[in-house]
Amino acid sequence: MEPREHHALATTADHRPRALSCMALLFVLFLAGMLSTSGSEAGSTLPQDLQFDIVREGAVVGRHQITFRRDGDKLVVHSAVKIKVKMLFFTVYRYKQTREEVWRDDKLIALASQADDDGTLYDIKGAAGPKGIIVTSGKLSWVLPPDSVPASYWNMSMVVGKGPLVDAQSGRVIDVKPTRVGEEKVTAGGRQIVATRYRIVAETPRDVWYDASGRWVKLTMAGEDGSVIEWVLK
């Protein structure tokens, strides 16, 4: 009995380290898989697409849609705005703009914008160069600082960042400094939320609101005729 019991114990002892090694290996592979999955998910996390009604004097006069997608390590942001204001049966104002921004590691590396502001056309393109963002419009070209942020509202960096603001239509630097007004309740997405309000005092003053996650949820500005125009998040 003694040799047999000794053999059984020896066999168990021989297999235990192997079993533990296999378990450890499985655990490492499982953990690596979890880390890889979570890292992949984090890398593919996108900002939430945004859709706004543009409201003037209680009537919807336009739409603004912003979509986000990944292209490798880049974030591509597409924006489309359409506005049509009517008085009686006549269209008194039209506006249409499409633009695209490309970001890598929270830095702007390319932009493009085409706009028709009631007959006045704008067409700009920009790409990162050795000294900043090289912007072209027709035969003109200029260089924006490398830390520039387009004033396209979806990116909260335009009100809290240190880089200069760039007009999303003309591609020129805007000499303004947004100021924080404070938190307040607003209606966004059909419900009441708390958002932080910022004021941008420019040629056309406007107020913009962001929720706790930094998502753009509201905008108000004055029209040329003194009317109030509001972006209402759907």
- Give the tens place of pLDDT for each residue, 68-90: 999 999 999 999 999 999 888 88
Question: φ, ψ for residue 42 (rounded to 5)?
Answer: -65, -40
What residues contact residue 164 under an 8 Å CB cut-off, 6+ apart? 144, 145, 147, 148, 149, 173, 174
How confident is residue 192, by pLDDT bands cut at 50, 70 and 90? very high
Domain boundaries of the chain, sorted by first residue: 50-233
Q: What percent of the chain has pLDDT over 70?
A: 81
* pLDDT of res. 15: 47
pLDDT higher than threshold 60 for residue 203: yes
Only one residue has tokens 């104002």, namely: 93
Q: Work out the average pLDDT over 19-34.
A: 41
- What is the mean pLDDT of the segment spanning 135-162? 94
Q: How far is CA 90 from the centre of its chain?
A: 36
DSSP tag of 96: E
Spatial separation of the C-alpha atoms in residues 112 and 152, rounded to whole Å: 12
Model confidence at 109: pLDDT above 70? yes
